[in-house]
Structure 1
Amino acid sequence: MGVMMKKKILVIAISSVCTSYLYAAAFDKTGQSISAFLQPGNYFEASLGVTDASLKGQEAGTNTGNSTISDIAHTDYRPTAALKLQLAPEFSFGLLYDQPFGSDTEYTGSNNFVATPKDTVMLPGITTARLAKATTGEVPEGNSKSSFDIQSLSLIFGYQPNKNWNIYAGPVYQSFKSQVDLRGNVFSVYNGYDFHAKSVADWGWLAGLAYQIPEKAIKASVTYRSEIKHKVNATENAPLIDMLKTQQGRSLVDQHLDYMISIGQMTQQKKAALNHIVAGLANTQDSGTTEFKTPDSVNLEFQTGLRQGTLLFGSVRWVNWSELNFQPYRFGEISKVVGALSTPSRPDGFSLVRFYEDQWSANLGIGQRFTHKWLGNVSVGWDSGAGDKVSTGGPVKGYYNLGIGAQYSPTPQTFISGGAKYFWLGDAKGQLGAQAGSDYYVAEFKDNHSVSYGLKIGYKF
């Protein structure tokens, strides 16, 4: 393979945001409903959701391999809880706990997302094993994997001037922790990179307005949740960069470039440019503060009675994913140096997680009461995803779903409900290109699905 093609693939690979693991359909886990706070009187509920996704793919595009990618998704368990107190006829208070965003995925098997001693470092002929031997470093091992855990506690204060209106607002306490390990030939100089962040927490807020006509079972609400800014002092390891920083590593690259010149695959001008990159990597800082924002969102939820015992319900949700830009400090410092290889140049570097489109989702369902103790429902849903252009990776672009559920009320004050949803996940390409809309990609994910199960208990008091 020619040097120019290698350089292009290098730029594509190291501008990867590793969101081949992250997909908006699953990264947005709970939908952040406010419905528990709008229940009449005093109310408590707790639930557990379980999602089992099948996310399989194939190496493709600019990826040097063509291996099958086995299921990368781990089973997801997600609890929620809510407490609502009617302190007085005009005033209410609520606590809502959920884990609104998250991801837990891992690449396994034999593919270019799993590290081997033969993985290439910058130039054909320099492998991780050869660089490690020259610098007494350690060869990257293991699988590419990613976990993001975001938890929220919302404190809501409501004012009800009459039986129809509810005005509410309050602070939101949100925690964040993450672990990302990049492994394999596809990540080039980021092969072996780790981002490990312990839990940190920061504040945001929400505000909303609800309207209801109880005798007609009509209820509607609109809720805005602010973005929340996090500052993280994470541990970032980049072993290949550490090796290239050493005199032995730089000498190995220089000697290999001389060899490539001798066989006609390199010019002195290109050698100087690549040596400049290696020297720049040697001057990057190893640690610093990572700053990013989780997205703001708007939820519209509604219901209305159709006839005695029949209820139409639904929701529309917008999430501002296009503003998300997660660039860990050291990752970013390295990418700013490597960005000089891009055409056009990218002095601001690349991001680890970057979406380019906002997410829209909608759900619509019908509930039917069969007896005073039993009711059931069916629903359909759609999600746009957050785009499958550069830096969103994949492997999913939105979904359609179909759900069923049932509720049993042993007493007028208590209930237990359960349900399931089947998701048809959208096809996507795992793109790692340096520009939005790039034609370059390293994997394809098709015909995937997901099944979610939920169980909830509720108590009115």
Structure 2
Amino acid sequence: MRLNKLYLALTLITLPLSTMAAGLDRSGQSISAFLQPGNYAEAGLSVLDPTVEGTDNNGNTVSDMGDDYVFASAAVKIQATDKISFGLLYDQPFGADAQYGVDGSDFASTALNEGTSVKVRTNNITALVGYQPTENWNFYAGPVWQTVEADISLRGDAYKGSNYTIQVDQKEAYGWAAGFAYSKPEIALKAAVTYRSEITHNAKSHEDSALNQYHGNDIVNSTVQAVTPQSINIDLQTGISQNTLVFANLRWVHWDQFVVSPTHLSKDLGQDLISYSDDQYSATIGTSHKFNSKWAATAAVGYDSGAGNPVTTLGPTEGYWSIGLGGQYSPAEHYFIQAGVKYFWLGDATAQTGGDTVGEFTNNHAIGYGMKIGYRF
């Protein structure tokens, strides 16, 4: 069973979808573009549309607080020689979007006519250099540049009426990634293990609340530390017939003991902004089939363990199960268009602030949509 154009196309098929993963994890930090043969470039856009509802401690209904989340990805890979390759990958690996309604629940202020809102954004560029001593092995490593910024408002009795707001200025920091891959083209076999280091951000923050009498009613300007977690990705695939392959993507993220504790919120109000208690484990397993020279499809199921329960109110779900479908259209051999959709059954979670339970969120779901364009040159 030799690698032919059908298999070459199949190795590109993925589900270019946003995720609803544990903690703030969003993109999954794939390096699959770097492992494509020859010179290759891609660009993608994903949208996550969650529905997250619950009840507060008083039995009030908490209306849908999950805002749509949109993020982009792009990559270019150059095979400079038979043994040396270079790659540049952009994604937005961590983030959050939430907007609680003014619905009479403990997560909104009627006086201010505002609900709790959350916006967290990261940008990530990974530069990789690969060395291929043989046609089967690839060893790669390189630096990672990352930024993080946030704008968060906590409103209502769940936060002791503090009407707390924090803005975190965009701050860049650096880490690294490294890994190895093995391939056997004649059976479309690929296996890769990639490690990413944690990245420590020390960003300027600006905190304000109704309880700022601790600081003479002034905005508290300080430095907040956030450490985006280390992770390991394992990617596997193999052909099982001339036009079909199976694949698995496994991921571990070190969320255990992850805490973001701004000065005013932690010292004066006795709360953490974000905290997780468990590591995240996730898996996606699926199959891809090539129907003809232009069309192919993928189906996959996924599981995510979550990052512990109770959780913070900024993302009150614990893990998920998912099912996804994707399609690929190749107008010519050197480029393709992919699109996909994924449905998530979100895990039930207990929300807490300052160690106190403030709400229950159950029977929630999300839908992800994605599109990607790939080009060989």
Residue type at the aligned position of 1:301:
D
Which of 269, 280, 284 in structure 2 is aligned with 1:363? 284
Residue 406 (str. 1) matches residue 343 (str. 2): no
User: How big is the shift at 1:409?
Assistant: 0.8
Q: In 2, Cα distance between the equivalents of 1:99 and 1:151?
A: 5
Q: In 2, Cα distance between the equivalents of 1:329 and 1:210?
A: 43
Which is richer in helix?
1
Matched pairs, number: 357
Residue 36 (str. 1) matches residue 33 (str. 2): yes
Equivalent pairs: percent with the same residue?
Answer: 43
Change (3 A) 1:285 1:413: closer
Q: In 1, Cα distance between the equivalents of 2:320 and 2:75?
A: 28
Residue type at the aligned position of 1:311:
L
Aligned to 2:87: 94
Q: In 2, Cα distance between the equivalents of 1:156 and 1:34?
A: 9
- Contact 1:44–1:460, Cα closer than 8 Å, also in 2: yes
Aligned to 1:275: none
Q: In 2, Cα distance between the equivalents of 1:245 and 1:41?
A: 59
- Contact 2:350–2:360, Cα closer than 8 Å, also in 1: yes
User: How big is the shift at 1:75?
Assistant: 1.0
Residue 166 (str. 1) matches residue 159 (str. 2): no
User: How big is the shift at 1:169?
Assistant: 0.3
- Contact 2:159–2:353, Cα closer than 8 Å, also in 1: no
**TM-score normalised by structure 1 residue count:** 0.74
Aligned to 2:169: 198
* 1:12-51 deviation digits (Å, cap 9, x = unpaired): xxxxxxxxxxx84472111111110000000000111111
User: How big is the shift at 1:407?
Assistant: 0.6
Long gaps (5+) in structure 2: 1-19
Residue type at the aligned position of 1:406:
G
- Contact 1:79–1:99, Cα closer than 8 Å, also in 2: yes
- Contact 1:396–1:427, Cα closer than 8 Å, also in 2: yes
Aligned to 1:69: 62
Aligned to 2:17: none
Change (3 A) 1:390 1:95: closer
Residue 116 (str. 1) matches residue 121 (str. 2): no
Matches within 5 A, 1:305-454: 305-335=239-269, 338=270, 350-389=271-310, 391=312, 395-432=316-353, 434=355, 440-454=356-370
Q: Give 4+ residue runs of structure 1 displaced > 4 Å after superposition.
A: 390-394
- Contact 2:272–2:354, Cα closer than 8 Å, also in 1: no
Deviates more, 1:352-361 or 1:386-395: 386-395
Query: RMSD of the alignment, in Å?
Result: 1.9
Change (3 A) 1:450 1:390: closer
Aligned to 1:133: none
Residue type at the aligned position of 1:45:
E
User: How big is the shift at 1:359?
Assistant: 0.3
Residue type at the aligned position of 2:117:
K
Long gaps (5+) in structure 1: 1-22, 118-139, 247-281, 339-349, 435-439
Q: In 1, Cα distance between the equivalents of 2:91 and 2:63?
A: 30
Residue type at the aligned position of 1:32:
Q
- Contact 2:339–2:372, Cα closer than 8 Å, also in 1: yes
Change (3 A) 1:203 1:146: same
Q: In 1, Cα distance between the equivalents of 2:325 and 2:129?
A: 33
Q: In 2, Cα distance between the equivalents of 1:333 and 1:212?
A: 53
User: How big is the shift at 1:177?
Assistant: 0.5
Residue type at the aligned position of 2:106:
N
Aligned to 1:458: 374
Deviates more, 1:287-296 or 1:148-157: 287-296
Q: In 2, Cα distance between the equivalents of 1:445 and 1:239?
A: 27
Q: In 2, Cα distance between the equivalents of 1:102 and 1:453?
A: 17
Change (3 A) 1:195 1:245: closer
- Contact 2:104–2:110, Cα closer than 8 Å, also in 1: no
Aligned to 2:72: 79
**TM-score normalised by structure 2 residue count:** 0.90
Q: In 1, Cα distance between the equivalents of 2:310 and 2:350?
A: 8
Q: In 1, Cα distance between the equivalents of 2:250 and 2:281?
A: 7
Computing the radius of gyration over CA atoms, which structure comes out larger, 1 or 2? Answer: 1
Q: In 1, Cα distance between the equivalents of 2:48 and 2:312?
A: 25
Change (3 A) 1:91 1:392: farther
Q: In 2, Cα distance between the equivalents of 1:172 and 1:390?
A: 29
* 1:260-281 deviation digits (Å, cap 9, x = unpaired): xxxxxxxxxxxxxxxxxxxxxx
Aligned to 1:287: 221
Which is richer in strand?
2
Q: In 2, Cα distance between the equivalents of 1:330 and 1:34?
A: 39
